[in-house]
């Protein structure tokens, strides 16, 4: 009698524990996307004491337009986190999605709002930027709504290059496309001259034909754009620092820094990713797979927090590798 009661009690506890574990794994992980309350963003925050003169000079001389792939269902989560953090540091930004919502920072796509139409959305966004902003931008940065980007560091890297020459930067995979392709999630950037070549000869003169929906899906957005950039002779430019550390990162900072990156980051790359303390340049530009909460946290640590008595010297010497990869 006593032992069967004990047995039943044991079973009861087992069930409860099972439910708790199931609940936590379904709803409790740090990767569930809770709505992000839009915080007010001002370009200058008078509660933060900071000398931003160099960053402001670069804001005016290296003009970056950001196009951010998103979806209507992410508006209150991922889109909001990007809009609250780094999007406003671009000289201009657009979210690409299919929605009824009309705001000046959305490029409305005519395609279904899901992963199989990424390429269609990105092509139309490049064409839109080409037609509307050719005169007021120098570089186009394409990212996803789970990319976290430090735009000031992007401008610093780009300041080593000429926007009037063709050029394409990001985290390079040497696979599928002869001259390599830049990870779409880490974000990639092309110069104004590359945008001209991509849209005018690639898209409009049909050097990069519009593939069927199935072909685009199979190829993936980043590879399809890389293929097109190859066809219109846009060279791949180096984006590492002189210590061999990456600036663009296809995974979240935890995996790059603490380890656990997938094999493709080593086997698909002539210059494999490095895990650990040499993962990331001091002037790192991006991390993919950053969830909205982490985005807000990283942003707070980077932009609202300083370590007293430390700053970057105005004259640093050579810190970035500059040049182009051999085709
Ligand atoms: C992004 O934030 C601005 C305010 O800073 C707002 O006007 C705009 O509508 C927001 N965009 C989206 C897509 O939510
Ligand atoms: C995207 O939407 C289209 C049209 O609604 C549908 O045919 C396709 O299967 C969808 N793809 C995915 C990955 O959901």
In a domain, 104, yes or no: yes
Q: Ligand 2: which of 71, 97, 112 to mutate, most ligand atoms within 8 Å of CB?
A: 112
pLDDT computed for residue 57 by the predictor: 93
CB-defined site of ligand 2, < 6 Å: 112, 114-116
Q: Ligand 1: which of 90, 103, 104 to mutate, most ligand atoms within 8 Å of CB?
A: 103
| 178 membership: H or E segment, kind and range | none
In a domain, 271, yes or no: no
Residue listed under structure tokens 């685009």: 216
Half-sphere exposure of 93 (CA within 13 A, CB side): 21
138 C-alpha vs ligand 1 centroid, how far in Å? 23
In a domain, 306, yes or no: no
Range(s) of the domain holding residue 75: 53-239
185 C-alpha vs ligand 1 centroid, how far in Å? 22
Q: Please state the φ and ψ torsions of residue 191, each to the nearest 5 degrees.
A: -75, 165
Number of the ligand 1 atom closest to the C-alpha atom of 75: 14
Ligand 2 atom 4 nearest Cα: 112
Contact 84, 110 (CB under 8 A): no
pLDDT computed for residue 27 by the predictor: 44
| 188 membership: H or E segment, kind and range | strand 188-191
Low-confidence ranges of the chain (pLDDT < 50): 1-2, 20-21, 23-42
CA distances from 104 to 67, 95, 101, 123 (A): 13, 10, 10, 19
314 C-alpha vs ligand 1 centroid, how far in Å? 34
Number of domains within the chain: 1
In a domain, 89, yes or no: yes
In a domain, 138, yes or no: yes
Closest ligand, as measured to the CA of 106: 1
CATH at 232: 3.90.550.50
In a domain, 183, yes or no: yes
pLDDT computed for residue 118 by the predictor: 87
Rounded to whole angstroms, how far apart are CA atoms 121 and 118? 5
Q: Ligand 1: which of 43, 75, 83 to mutate, most ligand atoms within 8 Å of CB?
A: 83
What are the helix (H) ranges across 185-323?
192-196, 213-219, 221-231, 253-258, 264-267, 292-303
Rounded to whole angstroms, how far apart are CA atoms 239 and 320? 7
Give pLDDT tens digits for 28-69: 444 444 444 444 344 567 788 888 889 999 999 999 999 999
CA distances from 263 to 256, 268, 278, 286 (A): 12, 8, 17, 20
Ligand 2 atom 8 nearest Cα: 116
Q: What is the pTM of this model?
A: 0.87
Contact 296, 80 (CB under 8 A): no
In a domain, 227, yes or no: yes
Give the pairing of strands 139-144 and 64-69: parallel
Closest ligand, as measured to the CA of 115: 2
In a domain, 324, yes or no: no
Closest CA to 246 of 270, 222, 282: 282
pLDDT computed for residue 43 by the predictor: 55
105 C-alpha vs ligand 1 centroid, how far in Å? 7
């Amino acid at each position: 009698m006593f032992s069967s009661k004990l047995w039943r009690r044991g079973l009861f506890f087992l069930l409860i524990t099972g439910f708790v574990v199931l609940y936590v794994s379904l709803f409790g992980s740090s990767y569930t996307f809770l709505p992000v309350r839009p915080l007010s963003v001002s370009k200058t925050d008078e509660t933060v004491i900071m000398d931003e003169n160099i960053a402001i000079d670069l804001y005016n001389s290296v003009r970056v337009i950001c196009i951010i792939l998103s979806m209507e269902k992410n508006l209150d989560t991922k889109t909001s986190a990007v809009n609250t953090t780094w999007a406003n540091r671009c000289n201009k930004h657009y979210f690409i999605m299919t929605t009824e919502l009309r705001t000046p920072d959305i490029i409305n796509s005519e395609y279904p709002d899901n992963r199989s139409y990424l390429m269609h959305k990105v092509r139309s966004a490049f064409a839109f930027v080409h037609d509307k902003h050719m005169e007021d931008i120098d570089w186009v940065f394409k990212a996803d709504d789970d990319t976290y980007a430090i735009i000031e560091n992007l401008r610093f890297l780009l300041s080593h290059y000429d926007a009037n020459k063709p050029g394409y930067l990001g985290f390079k995979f040497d696979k599928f496309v002869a001259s390599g392709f830049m990870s779409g999630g880490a974000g990639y950037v092309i110069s104004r001259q590359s945008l001209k070549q991509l849209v005018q000869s690639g898209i409009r003169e049909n050097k990069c034909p519009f593939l069927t929906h199935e072909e685009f899906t199979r190829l993936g957005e980043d590879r399809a754009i890389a293929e097109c950039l190859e066809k219109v002779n846009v060279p791949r430019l180096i984006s590492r620092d002189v210590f061999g550390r990456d600036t663009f990162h296809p995974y979240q900072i935890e995996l790059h820094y603490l380890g656990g990156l997938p094999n493709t980051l080593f086997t698909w790359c002539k210059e494999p990713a490095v895990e650990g303390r040499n993962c990331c340049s001091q002037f790192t530009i991006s991390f993919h797979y950053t969830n909205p909460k982490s985005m807000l946290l990283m942003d707070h640590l980077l932009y609202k927090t300083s370590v007293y008595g430390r700053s970057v010297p105005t004259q640093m010497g050579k810190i970035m590798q500059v040049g182009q990869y051999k085709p």
